[in-house]
Amino acid sequence: LEIAGRGTERIVQRLRAMLAVTAVHTTNGTWDLIVEIGTMSLESFDAALTAIRTIDGVTRSETSLLLTSRR
């Protein structure tokens, strides 16, 4: 997520309160936060994305789906 201004901590608190959010990471570079989402359906996933994208201060997002984890 890209965050406008100094609202990062407020947004992190909102994200952590969401049931679908499993982790929130700060980062450097283009994106300010990386948010991990876990849901049981694509419809729930879409609802979580919509809720995140409508948080005041979230200016841009990019979504990537984790297909598999390899060891």
- Flag residues of the chain having pLDDT under 70: none
- The pTM (predicted TM-score) of the whole model is 0.88
Contact 52, 39 (CB under 8 A): no
Neighbours of 3 (CB within 10 A): 20
Helices (H), the chain: 8-16, 42-53
pLDDT number for residue 29 = 87
Contact 7, 57 (CB under 8 A): yes
